[in-house]
Amino acid sequence: MRMKSTKQGIALYFAVLVTGIGLTIALGIAEIYFIEHRITRGLMPSFVAFFAADSGSECGLFWHIKEKKFNYNDPPGSFTIRCNGMNRTVTHTKFGGGATPGGSGYDVYQVQPFDVPGGSCARVEVVQQFVPPTLQVCTRIRSSGQNKTCAGVVSGPVVVERTLTTHDPDTCNFQ
Element (H, E) at 46: helix 10-61
pTM of the model: 0.75
pLDDT tens for residues 119-170?
899 999 999 988 777 778 889 999 999 988 888 665 556 788 999 999 888 7
DSSP code per residue over 126-170: EEEEEETTTTEEEEEEEEEEESB-TT--BSSSS--EEEEEEEEST
pLDDT tens for residues 64-103?
999 999 988 899 999 999 988 889 999 999 998 787 877 7
Separation between Cα atoms, residue 131 and residue 139, nearest integer Å: 10
